[in-house]
Amino acid sequence: MRIGPKRSVLDPDNTGFIAVENFTSLVEHHELQLDPSKLDMLFALVQSNEDGQVCYQELIELMSSKRSSSFRRAIANGRRTLQREILLDETGLGVYKRFVRYVAYEILPCETDRRWYFHQNSLCPPPVFMAIITIIQIVVFMCYGIMLNKWVLQTYQPDFMKSSLVYHPRHRLQVWRFFSYMFMHVGLEQLGFNALLQLMIGVPLEMVHGILRISLLYMAGVVAGSLTVSITDMRAPVVGGSGGVYALCSAHLANVVMNWAGMRCPYKLLRMILALVCMSSEVGRAVWLRFSPPLPSSGPQPSFMAHLAGAVVGISMGLLILRSYEESLQKQCSWWVILFSFITFLLFAIFWNIFAYELLGVQLPPAP
């Protein structure tokens, strides 16, 4: 759409603002060729303004697929209405668009946000981060399964724990292990649980919030998991991507609870109960394997503290990320507080790993 030639009509005094009457008249005379979604957004912007004016620059930004600051404030304060039916009532959609609509209702709590995401969505960039992580985890698991001829409780195989990907307290100076352990899994059950949640929850989250935010959240859960184990369960190794998975899941569940009235995903109460039961069962299984292993082993079994650390990251950092759809995190004071807290934890954990083991005289298990 070309707005420039209409500047003299919309803003004859060159004040930088457009009177609501002028804008409404222009729309009613069909001089703006807009898709229904963008027209709804413009009406919402007009109706949210208490002074009877619309900033000309904000109008141009909105037409350039950027939501203006006043429109964001209108969304936050609830001072906007949509002129048309809800997104769920749209018919004649293709398979992909129906999936995008499902994702919008699964992730976003506001109808305006859902419509905005639905009409602005594109496959560029595609949600590849969670898919790539899951594929690598499956490939690594299959390689070790074939090599060891063991598909369950792989940690009971000494050669499995010798992998340079596993985090082990004896090798904590090999920094990459604090991340690479996410590619290793105890057995088929843990891999299946993590892969399923990564694809069912991680991919929709990445489609809505983008690869940068979701990869940051996932990796923050992963590194927080291994560092927490190094502080609270100092003799235990770590395997599995549960830290990152629990960061995603806890952030999504917390977002649903915080926006319960606005969420329109079907059977949300039942699904939340099932998710909590599954996550609790997985943690319980990890605790059982850690303290009461069913088979004799040469050393401590992998810790469960990574699950809990990931959940804490999701509820703190993740909830803020998910609540800030289409808004800059850098402009929010709470983001800097959480980021400072996380960096402080990282620095403390680094010094702990350098000095605490020797100062406390921890008897570490032999290296596998």
pLDDT in tens, 221-244: 999 999 999 999 999 999 999 999
Least confident interval from 144-153, 200-209, 323-332, 334-343:
323-332
pLDDT at residue 34 in the model: 55
Question: b vs e for 103-122, b when ≥16 Cβ sit within 10 Å of the residue's Cβ?
Answer: bbbbbbbbbbbbbbbbbebe
pLDDT at 178: 96
Q: Give the pair of three-digit tokens for residue 246.
A: 């629990």
How high is the mean pLDDT of the chain?
82
Question: Which of residues 22 and 47 earns the better pLDDT score?
Answer: 22
pLDDT band of residue 70 (cuts 50, 70, 90) is: very low
Tell me the backbone φ, ψ of residue 129, rounded to 5 degrees. Answer: -60, -55
How close are the terminal C-alpha atoms of the chain, in Å?
Answer: 65
In angstroms, the Cα distances linking 29 to 24, 25, 64, 95, 158 are: 9, 6, 22, 35, 76
pLDDT of 138: 96
For 161-196, how does the pLDDT look when each residue is reduced to its tens digit (9 = 90+)?
899 999 999 999 999 999 999 999 988 989 999 999
Q: How confident is the model at residue 5 (pLDDT cuts 50, 70, 90)?
A: very low
Which amino acid would we find at residue 204?
P
| Catalytic member of 226, 250, 307, 316 | 307
- pLDDT cut 70: percent of the chain above it: 76
Element (H, E) at 54: strand 53-55
pLDDT score for 3:
45
Q: For 87-134, how does the pLDDT look when each residue is reduced to its tens digit (9 = 90+)?
A: 777 778 888 888 998 998 999 888 778 877 887 777 777 889 999 999
Please give the biggest Cα pair distance in the chain.
Answer: 84
Active-site residue, 168 included:
no
Give the Cα separation of 262 and 266 in Å (integer): 12
Which two structure tokens, joined as six digits, stand for 88? Answer: 């769920």
Residue 282 in contact with residue 307, Cβ under 8 Å? yes
> Can 242 be counted among the known catalytic residues?
yes
Q: Which residue has the tokens 């099932």?
A: 274
- pLDDT value for 47: 58
User: With 90 as the cut, is the pLDDT of residue 46 above it?
Assistant: no
Comparing 10-14, 102-106, 284-288, 324-328, the range with the smallest average pLDDT is 10-14
1: pLDDT confidence band, cut at 50, 70 and 90?
very low
Cross-strand bridge partners of residue 55: 17
- Half-sphere CA count of 19, side-chain side, radius 13 A: 9
Query: How distant is the alpha carbon of residue 167 from its chain centre?
Result: 24
What are the tokens at 258? 């915080």
Between CA 222 and CA 133 the distance in angstroms is: 12
Buried/exposed code over 197-223 (b: 16+ C-beta within 10 A; e: otherwise): bbeebbbbbbbbbbeebbbbbbbbbbb
Average pLDDT over residues 281-297: 85
Pick from 349, 345, 347, 342: nearest CA to 317: 342
| pLDDT average, residue stretch 257-281 | 87
Which range is least confidently modeled, 199-208, 237-246, 318-327? 318-327
Does pLDDT of 353 surpass 60? yes
- Percentage of the chain surpassing pLDDT 90? 43
Higher per-residue confidence, 211 vs 48: 211
For the stretch 204-222, pLDDT in tens is 999 999 999 999 999 999 9
pLDDT of residue 41: 61
Q: Report the amino acid identity of residue 192.
A: G
Q: Which two tokens stand for residue 282?
A: 């997985």
Quick one: pLDDT at residue 67? 53
Give 24-37 pLDDT, tens digit per residue: 666 656 545 555 55
pLDDT category at 266 given cuts 50, 70, 90 is confident
Please pick, among 226, 230, 242, 250, the residue that the annotation labels catalytic.
Answer: 242
Asked whether the predicted pLDDT for residue 54 surpasses 90, the reply is: no
Q: Are 238 and 232 in contact (CB under 8 A)?
A: no
Show the beta-strand stretches assigned E in 185-340: none
